[in-house]
Amino acid sequence: MRAGEGPWGWTYDVGFTLTLTFETAPDVVLANYRADLEEVRLLTRTEALRDVPPRPGGSQLRVGQVDSWTVCFEEFGTHGTRSDLMAALSFGSESFSYSAGYGMKLFQYYRAGRRIESFERGMPSTLRGEGPHRFWIATAENGGQPELAITSQTGISVPIEFLDGPMLTAWVGDPHIISNPPTAKMPNMTPLGGIAPPGQTPTTRPPAPGA
């Protein structure tokens, strides 16, 4: 992984998936990925590449917190692109997924188990979700970079120094459908259903699934 300029400079490299979930504990995020919590270790990126290297048949997960968001980073993994996982992560909350592979960058935003927005960068025909599609617009306004749209709309970023540092690390095998996501205490949250620009406070909560 190479680092460019700014807190998101590392994202010009390919072969990663990043999810960010609002006010949800790291162990709940790991449980939604179906990680074995007894096998989770606190490792730096260098240690994780040595002890839990990315390899076929599953994915290396590294989990930590940035402000009110729990980050799950997969180096060369794609578990975080799955619709069933995104629905589970956003159950009672909200979650982003941002994945970069060769020739493709995929962004997804789910709230309360529902897909609000998803698209491949620069491809209007891939735009899906209930809307509003504010991150599609913000991406266009930020040079076609979804990561900059995340910062412009939420004020958060994930710098390389964070990913290089100690994070909860686990290995999960190839995914299977998550039918009953682990439930956590509903956070006292004001999520992106009423998102405001950085420095302002949103005022609405998402509807319950099925509402």
For 6-31, write each residue's pLDDT tens digit: 889 888 777 899 999 999 999 999 99
Among residues 24, 192, 185, 13, the alpha carbon closest in space to that of 108 is found at 192
d(CA 133, CA 120): 13
Domains of the chain, by residue range, sit at: 9-176
Q: What is the pTM of this model?
A: 0.82
Residue 134: both structure tokens together:
């504010």
- Please give the single-letter amino acid code of residue 81: T
Residue pair 93/22 in contact by the 8 Å Cβ criterion: yes
- Of residues 81, 58, 71, the one with CA closest to residue 24: 71
Dump pLDDT digits (tens) for 115-166: 999 999 999 999 999 999 999 999 999 999 999 999 999 999 999 999 999 9
The Cα angle at residue 63 between residues 177 and 68, in degrees rounded to 5: 105
Helix or strand run (H / E) with residue 135: helix 134-141
Confidence tier at 174 by pLDDT (50, 70, 90):
confident
Alpha-carbon distance of 159 to 104, in angstroms, equals 21
Mean pLDDT of 193-207: 37
**Where does 52-112 have alpha helices with state H?**
83-89
Q: Which tokens hold the place of 41?
A: 């270790």
DSSP state, residue 122:
T
Q: What is the pLDDT of residues 82-110, one digit of tens each?
A: 999 999 999 999 999 999 988 789 999 99
Residue 125 CB contacts under 8 Å (≥ 6 apart), including other chains: none
Taking phi first (over 0 means left), then psi (-120 to 50 degrees means alpha), and beta for anything else, what does residue 135 get?
alpha
Judge residue 139's burial from the number of C-beta atoms within 10 Å of its C-beta, 0-12 exposed, 13-18 middle, 19 or more buried: buried
Question: Which 3 state secondary structure label does DSSP give 80?
Answer: helix
